Amino acid sequence: MAVVALLFGDGGTTLLAVTWTWTTIATILFVLRTWYASREPSKEHASFFGIRWDYAAVTIAYAAALASEITTTVGYRMAYWTKPLLESLKEVVPTIVLSNVVAYVSMIFGRFAIIALLLSLQGTAYRQWRISLWIVGGAQAMVLFSHIIITICQCNPPRKLWDLEVPGNCHLQVFSQKYGYASGSVGAFADFYLAIYPAIFIIGPLLKLPPSLRVGVCIILGGGLVAGIAGIVKMTCINDVKQLQKDYARFVMWQLTEAWFIVIFGTIPTVKPFFLAMGRGLKSIGTRLISTGGNYKSSKQHTQSVASGTGTSGSKMAHKPTLPRSTSEVALTDLSVMGKMERDSLDDERNGQWHDAENGHASQRRW
């Protein structure tokens, strides 16, 4: 009990309840993503032996986050063992260190998975800003890898960290904890940048969507803001280095929350039914807001198509194709299709039309 009180305080139960909830959600989404990826493999995107880069990266991120979750749980259970304090520390502390290390690995590859997805969606537009994605990804990777090395080597020899009987020193222990501010700040900035990036720079594919769906895509892709907020809250747990042990459960809870939400919001856009359901919900809300304004002809047509489904003007729309829905279904079913559409239109201007029924507007769709 002494080890549990020393390392986790009274927050161990909350830690496991919260983080295993995120684990369950992420696991469901990852399994669905894997299933749909196997059913509909994509050949038009850069891949590693037929596996898309974003899927390969998120697989590593998920595996690392799951390993961190398991080792945290094992370490917490081991802390309950009735053994002498020094002997318990020899078993519990290495498990905790391993949990931290693999959590950092999960964050690194989780953000690279989002970067790969954004690059696939963006296509060839705004080439200079595509480089910024790699800069952000490389910066957060270098900072977190440095944090991993500092965490492992904060004591000399490293075993001194969990075996107090070994002669040596831990001169970098305080620096390691303070370095958490740097790694946490860079990680939070990366999460915020990747969250707002779609709304600013992925202009081409988004302009092809109705306004309501455009907002929905940005909201879903921007869900990574939650991970950034979790990273900021995590840093507040390092205010007092001497009291870190007492608040370790809260620190780990927010660290795993950040790692899991990177995986979750990096997976949602590629899980077709889930993304489609969210997109339709946001589309319905947005359509109602747009229809009240009546400022644009396209919004009026879209309002009539919605009204026809309720029986108010179904006879008028019986012989008209539901063009907005066709375009939206394509975009929501697979986000990567939007990026491919943009690349195809850049290669051949004649491919700028989305549907045969839109021939009257084809001349206006020039990139």
Residue 352 clears pLDDT 50, i.e. is over it: no
Amino acid residing at 162: W
| Of 44 and 176, more confident | 176
Residue 362 inside a domain? The answer is no
Residue 302, both tokens = 């879209």
What band does 61 get if pLDDT is binned at 50, 70 and 90? very high
Residue 300 inside a domain? The answer is no
Residue 14 clears pLDDT 60, i.e. is over it: yes
The single residue listed with the structure tokens 């769906």 is: 213
Residue 306 inside a domain? The answer is no
60: burial class by Cβ within 10 Å (0-12, 13-18, 19+)?
Answer: middle
Residue 144: CB atoms within 10 Å: 23
Residue 15 inside a domain? The answer is yes
Residue 342 inside a domain? The answer is no
Least Cα distance to 230 among 196, 268, 260 occurs for 260
How many independent structural domains does the chain possess?
A: 1
Mention every residue, 6+ apart, whose C-beta is less than 8 A from residue 168. Answer: 155, 156, 157, 159, 160
> What pLDDT is attached to residue 212?
57
Residue 70 inside a domain? The answer is yes
Mention every residue, 6+ apart, whose C-beta is less than 8 A from residue 134. Answer: 115
Residue 346: CB atoms within 10 Å: 15
Residue 367 inside a domain? The answer is no
pTM of the predicted model as reported, rounded to 2 decimal places:
0.72
Contact 19, 69 (CB under 8 A): yes
pLDDT tens string 103-134: 999 999 999 998 988 887 776 666 777 889 99
Q: What range defines the domain where residue 227 resides?
A: 1-38+51-274
Q: What is the mean pLDDT of the chain?
A: 73
CATH number at residue 73: 1.20.1070
Strand segments (E) across the chain: 47-48, 51-52
Residue 82 inside a domain? The answer is yes
Contact 95, 74 (CB under 8 A): yes
pLDDT tens string 218-251: 666 677 788 888 888 888 877 654 554 556 788 8
> What pLDDT is attached to residue 27?
94
